[in-house]
Amino acid sequence: MATSYPELNYSNGVKWIKNLTQSRLSNFLGGHFADVNLSSKMFVHRLDGPGVVDLQVWSAPGLTKPLFAEAMRRNFRLAKKEESFGPSWTNHWWKVKMTIPSSWKEYERVQLEFDPGCEAMIFSTDGVPLQGITGGYGGDRRVEHIIPREAVLRGTYEVVIESSCNGMFGVPWNGDTIAPPDMNRYFKLASADLVVPNQEAWRLMWDFSALHELVDSLPGNSVLQNKALVTANAVMNAFTTGDDENIKQMRAIAEDVFGKGWEAKGPGIYDEGAKRAQVVGISYCHIDTAWLWPYAVTQQKTARSWSTQIDLMERYPEHRFACSQAQQFKWLEQQYPPLFEKLKHKVASGQFHLIGGAWIENDGNLPSGEALVRQFLYGQRYFQSRFGKRCETAWLPDSFGLTAAHPQLIRDSGMKYFFTQKLSWNNINVFPHTTFNWVGIDGTQVLCHMTPVDTYTAQANVGEVNKAISNHKNLESNDTALLVFGNGDGGGGALPKMLENLRRIRAVTNNHRELPPVSMGSTVEQFFEDIERDSKGGRSLPVWRGELYLEFHRGTYTSHGSIKKGNRKCEILLRDVERVATLATIYQPASSNYVYPKKSIDECWEKVLLNQFHDVLPGSAIGMVYDDAERLYSEVRHDCQKMLDKAFEVLLTTPSTTCGDSVLTGRPSGFLALNLTPFSRQEVVEIPLSGDGDLPSFPTVIQRSLDGKRGYALVEYEKDSICNREASMHDECLPASVESVSSNHFILQTPVIKMTVCEGRITSIYDLVLGLELIEEGKTGGLVIFEDRPNYWDAWDVEIHHLETRTPLAFSSFRVVAQGPLRATIEAHVKYGRSDIKVMISMDGAPASGQHDLRPLIKFDAEVDWHEKHKFLKFELPLSINNTVATYECQFGFVQRPTYKNTTLDAAKFEVCGHKYADFSEFGYGVAILSESKYGFACEGNVLRISLLRAATAPDADQDQGLHEFSWAVMPHAGSFLESDVPRAAYLFNSPLHVRAIPQGVAAVESFVREFPFSLHGARNIFLETVKRGEDDDFESPTAKKTVILRLYEAFGGHGHTELRISRNVHVLAAYTTNLLEDTKAELALSRDIRGNGPSKLDLEFRGFEVKTVKLVLADAEGPLATNSKFGPVPTVIGR
DSSP helix/strand/coil, 110: coil
| Cα separation, 204 vs 202, whole angstroms | 5
| Cα separation, 880 vs 597, whole angstroms | 51
| Cα separation, 452 vs 1072, whole angstroms | 42
Residue 639 is among the residues annotated as catalytic for this protein? no
Catalytic residue among 207, 288, 311, 398: 398
Q: How many residues does the chain have?
A: 1136
Do strands 1022-1029 and 1014-1018 pair parallel, antiparallel, or not at all (unpaired)? Answer: unpaired
| Cα separation, 320 vs 24, whole angstroms | 36
Dihedral sign of CA atoms 1120, 1122, 1126, 1129 in order: positive
**Residue pair 24/215 in contact by the 8 Å Cβ criterion:** no
Peptide bond into 735 cis (omega under 30): no
**Residue pair 656/698 in contact by the 8 Å Cβ criterion:** no
Q: At what angle do helices 623-651 and 598-610 cross, to 10 degrees?
A: 150
| Cα separation, 694 vs 887, whole angstroms | 47
E strand map for 1030-1090: 1042-1050, 1056-1062, 1068-1074, 1080-1083
| Burial bucket for residue 692 (CB in 10 Å: 0-12, 13-18, 19+) | exposed
Q: What is the dihedral of CA 939, 944, 949, 950, to 10 degrees?
A: -30
| Cα separation, 956 vs 960, whole angstroms | 9
| Cα separation, 1029 vs 583, whole angstroms | 10
- Helix, strand, coil % over all residues of the chain, rounded to 5: 25, 30, 45
Peptide bond into 699 cis (omega under 30): yes
DSSP helix/strand/coil, 583: helix
| Cα separation, 148 vs 13, whole angstroms | 54
- Helix (H) or strand (E) holding 878, with range, is strand 871-878
Question: Cα–chain-centroid distance for residue 55?
Answer: 42
| Cα separation, 400 vs 613, whole angstroms | 11
Residues 6+ apart with CB under 8 A from 383: 326, 329, 354, 357, 389, 390, 391
**Residue pair 304/634 in contact by the 8 Å Cβ criterion:** no
Catalytic residues: 398
